[in-house]
Amino acid sequence: MRTLREAKVGETVVVARIHGEGAVKRRIMDMGITKNVQIYIRKVAPLGDPVELTVRGYELSLRKADAEMIEIQ
């Protein structure tokens, strides 16, 4: 499966699974990124990091390292 890091700008994806353990996984989930939630990829910074997303009606910036832990459909 693809990860959130591989998603293109303007694409809307659905979270299939979150990898990682402990505090890292908890932090991602606390930001509102949970299974089956829709994420819209708004833009990517000029050097590629971070990625700006729209999740549950608010804007969120996420590092590529964290985006790689999120599996999408």
Domains in the chain, CATH or no CATH each? 2-72 (2.30.30.90)
What pLDDT shows up at residue 18?
Answer: 92
Q: What is the pLDDT of residue 33?
A: 92
Which positions of the chain have pLDDT values less than 70? Answer: none
* pLDDT given for residue 26 in this prediction: 93
β-partners of residue 38 are 14
The pLDDT assigned to 11 comes to 93
pTM of the full structure: 0.87
pLDDT computed for residue 46 by the predictor = 85
pLDDT of the residue at 42: 94
